[in-house]
């Protein structure tokens, strides 16, 4: 029960990876304020309570600053502080850049990058008042490389998430808030959420598992997809008191896919 006195906000908690992260913190006794747009959110909050967490569901949209402010306020009201923020809300996008209109580009960047910014912006005042906190963004291996086509908007948004993570870690560390760490987790292909969803490819619609088998597997030394629980384990690790010296890092959890 390492997180008994911690309040954790998770955006996108109704999704595959967000759910796993919520359950991992719940098992450690954390107070949880879970955000998502989707109906799955309440079910995850129920599961988190059964797993030992004190969890509340707060519907909201990461593209709306007011929803993010309400999320942070709810956390402080329910649990007396906000100690850990995990930004998991995200949209996949697949298609050729030249065939996508600007709205498709803007939507992905607005959820994945700007949504991460908005959640962080709302969580920072309570963390700064506490002079401690853990911000954990969810990037992607596609934030570290170009992928193999059809993922330009998504890869651009995830490169942005890593840049935001590093720059903010530097800013907080040097501006009087070394107790607030900012790190990204960069999952490889995960057997959950958008990692198993149908996507468009040059060869037609394919499930995430088929895409992994056909295009990615031979690049991954462990020759396997990651499990959502492995991403959750990394999030818990980055939130532990013993991880206080880790900031500005982008941690790949990808079976060795990207080695940098």
Ligand X SMILES: NC(=O)c1ccc[n+]([C@@H]2O[C@H](COP(=O)([O-])OP(=O)(O)OC[C@H]3O[C@@H](n4cnc5c(N)ncnc54)[C@H](O)[C@@H]3O)[C@@H](O)[C@H]2O)c1
Partnered with residue 134 across adjacent β-strands are 84, 181
Q: Does 38 bind ligand X (CB under 6 A)?
A: yes
Other beta carbons within 10 Å of 166: 17
| Residue 96 in tokens | 């050729």
| Cα(111)–Cα(65) distance, integer angstroms | 12
Taking CB under 6 A as the criterion, the residue among 42, 47, 61, 78 binding ligand X is 61
Q: For 113, which DSSP code? A: I
Q: Does 140 bind ligand X (CB under 6 A)?
A: yes
Count of residues of this chain found to bind ligand X when the rule CB under 6 A is applied: 29
Q: Does 90 bind ligand X (CB under 6 A)?
A: yes
3-state secondary structure of 103: helix
Please, are residues 64 and 86 in contact by the beta-carbon 8 Å criterion? no
Stretch of residues binding ligand X (CB under 6 A), selected from 23-31, 82-90, 171-179, 238-246: 82-90
Q: How far is CA 215 from CA 149, 202, 210, in A?
A: 10, 12, 8
Q: At its nearest, how many Å lie between ligand X and the CB of residue 180?
A: 21
Q: Which residues fall within 8 angstroms of residue 86, CB to CB, at 6 or more apart?
A: 8, 9, 10, 11, 18, 21, 136, 137, 138, 235
Q: At its nearest, how many Å lie between ligand X and the CB of residue 61?
A: 4
Stretch of residues binding ligand X (CB under 6 A), selected from 25-33, 169-177, 184-192, 232-240: 184-192
The question of whether 154 is a catalytic residue gets the answer: yes
Q: At its nearest, how many Å lie between ligand X and the CB of residue 5?
A: 27
3-state secondary structure of 247: coil
Q: Does 17 bind ligand X (CB under 6 A)?
A: yes
Site string for ligand X, 108-137 (x = CB under 6 A): ---x---x----------------------
Task: Provide the phi-psi class of 193: left if phi over 0, else alpha when psi is between -120 and 50, else beta.
Answer: left
Stretch of residues binding ligand X (CB under 6 A), selected from 55-63, 119-127, 199-207, 235-243: 55-63
| Residues acting as catalytic residues | 154
Chain contacts with ligand X (rule: CB under 6 A): 11-12, 14-18, 35-38, 61-63, 88-91, 111, 115, 138, 140, 187, 189-190, 192-195
């Amino acid at each position: 029960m390492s997180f008994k006195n911690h309040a954790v906000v998770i955006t996108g908690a109704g999704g595959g990876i967000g759910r796993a992260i919520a359950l991992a913190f719940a098992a450690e006794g954390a107070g949880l304020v879970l955000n998502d747009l989707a109906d799955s959110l309440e079910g995850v909050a129920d599961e988190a309570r059964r797993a030992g967490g004190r969890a509340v569901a707060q519907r909201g949209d990461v593209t709306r600053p007011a929803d993010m402010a309400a999320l942070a306020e709810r956390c402080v009201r329910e649990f007396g502080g906000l100690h850990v923020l995990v930004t998991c809300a995200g949209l996949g996008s697949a298609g050729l850049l030249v065939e996508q209109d600007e709205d498709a580009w803007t939507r992905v960047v607005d959820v994945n990058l700007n949504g991460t910014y908005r959640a962080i912006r709302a969580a920072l005042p309570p963390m700064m008042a506490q002079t401690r906190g853990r911000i954990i963004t969810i990037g992607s291996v596609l934030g570290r490389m170009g992928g193999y086509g059809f993922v330009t908007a998504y890869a651009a948004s995830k490169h942005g998430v890593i840049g935001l993570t590093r720059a903010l870690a530097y800013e907080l560390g040097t501006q009087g808030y070394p107790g607030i760490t900012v790190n990204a987790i960069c999952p490889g292909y995960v057997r959950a959420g958008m990692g198993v969803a149908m996507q468009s490819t040059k060869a037609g619609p394919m499930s995430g598992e088929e895409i992994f088998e056909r295009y990615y597997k031979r690049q991954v030394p462990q020759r396997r997809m990651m499990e959502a629980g492995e991403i959750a384990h990394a999030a818990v690790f980055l939130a532990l008191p013993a991880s206080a010296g880790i900031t500005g890092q982008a941690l790949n959890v990808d079976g060795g896919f990207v080695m940098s």
